[in-house]
Chains A and B, each alone.
Chain A
Amino acid sequence: MLSIDCPHCGQRDETEFVCGGEAPTGRPPPDASDDIWTDYLFGNANPRGPVHERWLHAFGCRRWLAVERDTVTHRILSVRDFADAIGHRP
C-alpha cells in the first residue's frame, strides 16, 4: 500500500485517497480539432516509469493532488496540490 505525503495532511495511507488516473496536460481550447479533443478525453500515455497522476485526498483534506509516481518502482517522486501544479490557486 502506497504512502502518500499530502502537502496539507502529511504522510497518509493510500486507502485515504482516490486515484483519478493520468492527469491531462491541459484542457484544449474550444476550437481544438476533433483529434486533439479526443486525445484529451481518452488518451493515456500509460508509461513504464514516471507518470503524472491526479489523486484525491478523499478522506483527508479533500484536495486534488498532482502526484508523480513511478509505475515500475511505485516510488512517489513528488506531490503537490493540483491547483499549485497547474499554476493558479483561488
Chain B
Amino acid sequence: MSGFRLPSHPRNQARALPFRFDGRALEGRDGDTLAAALLANGAGIVGRSFKYRRPRGIVGHGFAETNALVQLGTGAGSTPNLLATRIPLTSGLEARSVRGWPSAAFDVGGIVDRLSPLLSAGFYYKTFIWPHWGLFEPAIRRAAGLGHAPVQPDGDRYEARERTCDVLVIGGGVAGMAAALAAAEAGAKVVLVEADPWLGGATGAEGASRLAAMERAVVDSPDIALMRRTTAVGYYDHNLVAACEEVDSPGLRQRVWKIRAGRCVLACGALERPLLFGGNDRPGVMLAESVRHYLARHGVAAGRRPLFVTASDSAYRAAIEAKQAGLDVVGLVDLRDAPGPLAEAVRTLGIELLVGHDAVRTRTRRGRVSGLDLLDRSRGRSIEVECDLVAMSGGWTPAVQLFSQSGGRLRYEEGIGAFVPEQSVQAERSCGAARGVLDLDACIADGRSAGLWAATGKEPPPVVRVEGERAAFRLPGAAKAFVDFQTDVTVADMQQATCENYRSVEHVKRYTVWGMGTDQGRLSAVNGIAVLAHLQGRDPGAVGTTRFRPPFAPVAFGAIAAGRPAGALFTPWKRLPAHDWHEAQGACFEDHGWLRPSHYPRGAETMAEAAARETLVVRHGVGLVDSSSLGKLELKGPDAGRFLDLVSLGSASRTAIGGARYNLLLDELGILFDDGMVARLGADHFLLTTGSAHAERTRRWLEQCLQCLWPLDLVVQDVTGLWATFTVAGPRARSVMERTGCDVDFSRDAFPHHRIRLGEVAGAEIRIVRASFTGEISFEISVRADQATSLAEYLMLCGEADEIAPVGLEGLDVLRLEKGYFHIGSDTDSRTMPGDVGFGSAVTRKPGDFIGRRSLLHPAASASRRPQLVGLQPVDPEAVVPIGAHVVGSAPRRSRGVVTSSAFSPTLGRSLGLALVEDGRAAIGSEVELWSEGRSWRARIAERTAYDPTGARLDA
C-alpha cells in the first residue's frame, strides 16, 4: 500500500497543512480529512487491534471506519477514540493512534498475535475466573484499552439548543436532498442535517451534474435550514432527534441540538460491507467505495495497483473511476458466476474481469498487503494476484440505526443481503440507500416521494426497489477471517460460540464481543449475522439483529452535559437572607441545602465548646436563632381548615384565630411525613410551617392532595422566601421582646404559648409565633426577607442588657435533644407512624376521615415489634454514642433498633440520645447494649424528655 496524491486533482493545489501523527511530522492539504492526509502520506498502519495487536490500516471513510481511531490533542482538551476518517485536517493537528505503544507501527504487544490460538471467544471469562476476575481486570484493561480520557476538567465550551420543524431530513445525500426539496416545495419548514461538511453522500462521478444542481437548490431554498457537520445521534420518543454539531470555533467546540420534528425522513444512506476472507483485516484492504471516495473527493489514491473484489454490482463503478484516475487497476474479481451490467465498460477500459472466483487470503509483505490468493471455483484452481491494495465490496448495509432507535421493525432483504426498515412506529419514513435503494435515479425519486409524504402526510405510491444479484454466502475456509476488526472477532470465534450452543444474537454478541466496539458494529453487524445464520442453518432474518441503541456515534461528555448547571451551580446553596450578618458575627456554616450557621466560635473555641456555651445561653439567658429556612406555607380559602384536617393528624379547623398548634402531616400509608406549626391568621387563612428541608416537598404534597384527592376551595402558597424568621429563646426572651417597642402585649396572660400575633416593630410589619424547639420561652419573629439583617441587628441591640448571643444549629440540636423533640426523617424513618412517637391517642381521638387513617387502623399499625422512639441515657455519662449505633438485645444478640440522635448535654452534664427501638416504650427503664463498628456501650432506655419533663419552663 503506497498512497499518493493525484497530480491533476484540484486538492493537490490546496494550501499545505503540517500535522503530526504518532510524533511524525507530515503534511496534508486544506480540505483533507486526517485519514485522507494519512493515506496521501502512505501511512499504512494507523492502529493495533484490540486483542491480537495486529497492525490495522484505514479501511473506510466517514462513519464506515473501525480501525483508524485516534486521540487528538494533549492535556485537558485531549479527546480519545475519534475516527480519523471524520476529522477535518487543521494546521498543526496532533493525533496519536489509540492502541499500540510506543507507536502503532511498532507495538510491543504484537507478540500476542502469535499466541492467538489461546485467545478464543470467551477466553478472558474462562481463564481469569480464579480467584476473582477483579484481580486480573485492571491489568487486562490496561493492555487492551483504547484511548485515554483526560483527567483534567474539559476546558472546551459546549452548547445545547432546541428547535422544531415540520420536516426533519437526516442525511444530505441525493435522497435526502430530494426529500428536503420536495417537502419545502410542498410548503413545509425543513431542517436538513448532514454529518459531513459537504453534501452528496456516496454519489459518484455519473451523478455529478445533477448533484451540483440539487445542492444549489438546497442551499438557496429559504425553507430549508441546512446544518452541515451535524450528526443525528439519537432518535427518541415523539420524534425527538438529538444531533451533535461540530463547531470547532475557539469559543465553542460542539453544539447539541434537540430537534422535535413533525415528521422525519431518514436518508442516512448505507455503509459498504467488508468481505470475509483470510487476512481481510490487513493494512491495504479497504472498502471499494472508500477507495473511490478518496480518489474523487480528496485526490488521494490509497494504492498504485488496486485489485477490486466484489459480491455485487457496486464495485464496478469504483474500479472504473480508479482506472480513469490513472491507477494501474490489477483486476476486478466478481464472486458471482455471471458478471454485472457494467462488465463491458470495465473490459473496454482494459481492466481484467474475473467471475466465479473466491477471495481466499491476503498475502503480506512487512505487514501490508502484497497480494490476494483467489480460488477459481469452476476449475478448483488457486491463483495468486499481486497488488498493493485490495478494494472489497460485500454489498451495502442500509444505515438503519436511527430507524431502529425510533422503535421501527426491520426485515431481512435477500436482494441486498441486509436489513431494511419494515414497519414504522413513529412519524418517519426511510428513503434511498437507507432502505436499500441504491440506483441514483431511484434514490432521487424515492427521496422526493418521502419528502412529499413528510410535508403532507399522504402516503406516496411505492417506489420500485432496484435489486441486484448478490453472490451466495460462503463460509471462508481460511483462518483469521475477521467479522469485526475493532474487537478482533473472527469467523472461528463465531463457530466456537455456536459449538458452545450460543444461539441468540444478543448472547453471541456479548460472548464474542462482536459489535461491541466504538463503532457499535456498523461494519460488522450484518456479516456476523450472515455467519451465524449459516452456522445455525437459519435465514438471517430469523437470526435477527441486535438492538441498536443511541448514540449512533460517540458524543463527548461535555456535549451531553451542555446547558446543564455544573460546578457551583450544580446544586446551589440557598443563603439565608441575613447570611452576611451571620458571617460578620463569626458564624461557621453547615450545608443543609441552606447554608446555616452551625455555631459562632469565640476565641479558640472548638465547635463542641461553642455549641455547649450557646446551649447554656438559651437555658439560662437568651439566644437568637435564625429560623428563616423553616418552610412557610399559607393556605387560604373557605375550605382551608377542612383541608388541613384531612391531610394532618391535628384538627387545625378547631384552632381559634390567633391560635397555633403543633401539627403532624401523614401520607396515605399513615407514615409521618413532616411536622411543624399550624397557626390561624383568619377564618379562611392558615400558616403552616414545615421542616427546613421539607418545604418544597410538603408544598408539592399538599398540591397533590388538593388536586387529586380533595379538590376543595383553597389555594396553597409557598411564602418561605418572602419571610425571614428569627427566634428569640430563653428565660429572658420576654424581657428582650418588651424592649423592642413592638405594639404586641408580651405579658404571660396576653401572649401565652402556642399563639400567633401580628404587630409592628420599628416600622416593620412582623408576625410572631410562640412555639418552642428548645423547651424555653420562644418568640419566632418573621419579617419581610429584605429586612432580615435590620431585624437581627435590632434584636441584638434590644437584648444587649440580657447578654443575648447568636445560637447555631449545633446548640439548637442539643437543646431539642434535651427536650426529646424529634426531627422527622432522622429520628423517624419510612415506617414510623404516629403511635411510634407517642401520638397514638391523637389517631383514635380524631373524628372523621383523614389521610392515612385507614392505614393506621390496619393490624400492621398496631403489631408488636414496631420501632418506637425512646430516650437513651448511656451508663457512662461521658460516652457520646455514634448515631447509627445498633441497640442490641440480650439473647439472641440481634439488632433491635438504632440510635437516631446523640449528643452531650451541658445542661444535665451527661450524654443523651434518642433511638428507634422495637417495642421501645415497654423497655423504658431497662438497660441495653449499644454497638457500633466493634465498640459497645451500655445505656438505659428512658423517656424522651430528659429536661423539664413537665414543660414548666415553657409557661413561665
Q: A residues near B, CB below 8 A?
A: 1-3, 13-14, 20, 23, 27-28, 30, 32, 34, 37-38, 41, 54, 56, 58, 62-64, 73-74, 82-83, 86, 88-90
Contacts and interface: CB of A to CB of B under 8 A. Distances in A.
Given A28-B854, A30-B854, A74-B238, 20 more contacts: A2-B238, A3-B237, A3-B238, A13-B240, A14-B237, A23-B708, A32-B854, A34-B858, A54-B708, A56-B700, A56-B704, A63-B707, A64-B703, A74-B407, A82-B708, A83-B707, A83-B708, A86-B708, A88-B711, A90-B706
A1 B853 contact: no
Contact of A90 (B709, B713, B859): B713
Given A37-B858, A62-B703, A1 B238 contact: yes
A41 B708 contact: no
Contacts of A62: 703
Contacts of A28: 854
Interface residues of B, number: 27
B536 interface: no
B236 A1 contact: yes
B849 A1 contact: no
A77 B851 CA distance: 31
B855 interface: yes
A80 to B, nearest CB: 12
A86 B706 CA distance: 12
A89 B711 contact: yes
A37 B425 contact: no
Contacts of B711: 83, 86, 88-90
A30 B708 contact: no
A55 B858 CA distance: 29
Nearest to B854: A37
Interface string B657-679: 00000000000110000000000
Contacts of B258: 1
A58 B204 CA distance: 53
A20 B704 contact: yes
Given A30-B849, A30-B854, A1 B240 contact: yes
Interface in B678-707: 700, 703-704, 706-707
A63 B713 CA distance: 15
A41 B855 contact: yes
A27 B709 contact: yes
Nearest to A63: B707
Contacts of A64: 703-704, 707-708
The 4 closest A-B pairs by CB, nearest first: A3-B238, A64-B707, A83-B711, A30-B849
Given A28-B854, A30-B853, A3 B240 contact: yes
Contacts of B240: 1, 3, 13
A34 B862 CA distance: 14
B734 to A, nearest CB: 42
Contact of B669 (A32, A41, A54, A63): A41
Contacts of A58: 700
Interface string B229-267: 000000011101000000000000000001010000000
B712 interface: yes
Contacts of B855: 37, 41
Contacts of B853: 30
Q: Which of A1, A2, A73, A74 has the largest count of B CB atoms less than 10 A from its CB?
A: A1
A2 B704 CA distance: 22
A12 to B, nearest CB: 11
Contacts of A83: 707-708, 711
Interface string B696-732: 0000100110111101111000000000000000000
Contacts of A41: 668-669, 855
Contacts of B236: 1
A75 B575 CA distance: 43
Nearest to A81: B707
Nearest to A64: B707
Contacts of A86: 708, 711
Contacts of B713: 90
A74 B708 CA distance: 24
Nearest to B859: A34
A78 B604 CA distance: 66
B254 to A, nearest CB: 20
Nearest to A31: B854
B540 to A, nearest CB: 26
A58 B704 CA distance: 11
Contacts of B849: 30
15 contacts: A1-B236, A1-B238, A1-B258, A2-B238, A3-B237, A30-B854, A34-B858, A64-B707, A73-B407, A73-B425, A74-B237, A74-B238, A89-B711, A90-B706, A90-B714
